[in-house]
Amino acid sequence: MPTMKLEIVTAERQVFSGDVTTIIAEGTEGQMTVLPKHAPLITMLAPGELVIRKDGDEQYMVISGGFMEVMPEKVILLADACERSDEIDLERATAAKQRAEDRLKSITPDIDQSRAEAALRRSIARLHVAEKRRRGPGYRPSV
């Protein structure tokens, strides 16, 4: 199967570098599937799940927003933060979700609602990806 090079970097580290056959990412306009020789483009990514495939192997990651540059032979993903499914700290994500929900419930003038909503999306994406890893590829979250 044809492959393309994928590099995922944050300001802190290189999260992934290797050859892959498929990338499924959450663009701000919806889910995108990228295959080798895709037309060049640059797009913004929403906080959410990233799936990469090679030789029948599927890896899950969480991206908390960023940019993706697609070229025919190479894709570069610049992420605000990114964790592989095995790096996700479940307790931390659960606490972050609770905090964001509490903030959204107690709407007062000093609450930045969009910030709390973004934190909620990140925590939910982390929990989904960690759960997917635990349950296997067929698992589809209900929330």
Using rule CB under 6 A, residue 122 touches ligand ATP:
yes
Sole binder of ligand ATP in the list 74, 92, 134, 135 (CB under 6 A): 92
Near ligand ATP in 32-71, by CB under 6 A = 64
Sole binder of ligand ATP in the list 23, 51, 75, 88 (CB under 6 A): 88
Cβ neighbors of 31 (< 8 A, separation 6 or more) are 24, 25
Size of the site for ligand ATP (CB under 6 A): 12
Cβ–Cβ contacts within 10 Å for residue 124, how many? 19
E strand or H helix at 35? none
Taking the complex as a whole, how short is the minimal distance between the CB of residue 60 and ligand ATP, in angstroms? Answer: 13
Residues that bind ligand ATP (CB under 6 A): 64, 81, 83, 87-89, 92-93, 96, 119, 122, 126
